[in-house]
Amino acid sequence: MPSVYKNANAQRNVRRWCLERIEAWEVEHVRTEVTTSAGSTSVLGAGPSDDGAPGIVLVPGTNMNAALCLSVAGTLAARRRTIVLDVPGQPGLSSGGRPVHGRMGWYGKWLGEVLEQVAPGPVVVVGHSLGGAIALSCGSERIAGRVLLSTAGLARARVSPALLAATVPWLARPSLSRAAGLLRHMAAPDRSLPPELAEWMALVARECRSSLAPAPLPRTVVERRRSVPCLVATGRHDAFFPPPALSAAVRERLGTECRVIEGAGHLLLDEEPAAVAALVHALHAVVTGRDGSSPSSDAVG
């Protein structure tokens, strides 16, 4: 099984960067690792202990991990027990191997295995980009609701000539400036981003083999997910999953509406962590019946 890392030293460099970020996080937290069929999985937990209500499990997207999600994780954990997973086959603290074929079925099985080990009861799974496709691929009965942010798995990712022109030099000649240039295409115009994000993306280009967004999931898989409450959102300026294309796919395939977050691009977790948290807590209220509605797949649109 091929690895996301170019060599063993590359994996050590990535792990060191992630561990230093997590160890410096001011929010009280616990990091553990669990064993799955996809290898070791890093699990970062924070927030109040279980009170019987569903917890929150965050699944980051391509090239992202818990160390890059600390801002939104802290916002979510202020109200609800929150777990952030490092996805196997992506740069981070989990196993680096990923399959050549059958990737989304492999990821769906992996998420189900992790939930059995880290979630004492129902959870709301929050997936960003690739993480959204993974959330849709998983049919675990532990999943009481899904929040899909700039999600893959429903429509094909779009890559404009300008985005491609920024991606090629980032991969071929990694540098801080080229990483920052790529991120400018991924975020909303004139949006400021955390400086460590460019540092991270430069590290990824030097040490890792980046993967492409998955193709849309089979219709039969998506239809089976419609029985669970789902909320979908994308940024107004999302370069990969722009609102018109994603909204049409969400309406057709999930039977709900896609919300649009103004002033944001593809990097919703970094650009609008408070808005993301508001969406997650809104779906959480639906799942628990605390908003006065009954939990159903069309309760959130």
Q: What is the pLDDT of residues 269-292, one digit of tens each?
A: 999 999 999 999 999 999 988 665
- Domain span at residue 261 reads 8-157+211-288
pLDDT at 295: 39
The domain that holds 270 is classified in CATH as 3.40.50.1820
Do the domain assignments include residue 66?
A: yes
Please write the tens of the pLDDT for every residue from 142-169: 999 999 999 999 999 999 999 999 999 9
Residue 83 inside a domain? The answer is yes
Does residue 38 form part of some domain? yes
Q: What is the pLDDT of residue 298?
A: 39
Measured CA to CA, the distance from residue 89 to residue 19 in angstroms comes to: 17
Q: How many domains would you assign to the chain?
A: 1
Q: What is the pTM of this model?
A: 0.94
- Asked if 225 contacts 272 with a C-beta cutoff of 8 angstroms, the reply is no
Structural domain contains residue 95: yes
Using alpha carbons, list the distances in angstroms from residue 52 to 82, 121, 140, 143.
14, 8, 18, 14
The answer as to whether 295 is a domain residue is: no
pLDDT value of residue 103: 94
In a domain? residue 240: yes
The H or E element spanning position 34 is strand 29-36
> What is the mean pLDDT for each group of 10 consecutive residues in the chain (301 residues)?
96 98 97 97 91 87 97 95 97 95 95 94 96 98 97 95 95 96 96 94 96 92 95 97 96 96 96 96 88 43 36
In a domain, 16, yes or no: yes
Task: Give the CA distances from residue 58 to residues 4, 81, 176, 274, 291, in Å, rounded to whole numbers and listed in that order.
Answer: 21, 11, 27, 15, 22
For residue 272, tell me if it sits in a domain.
yes
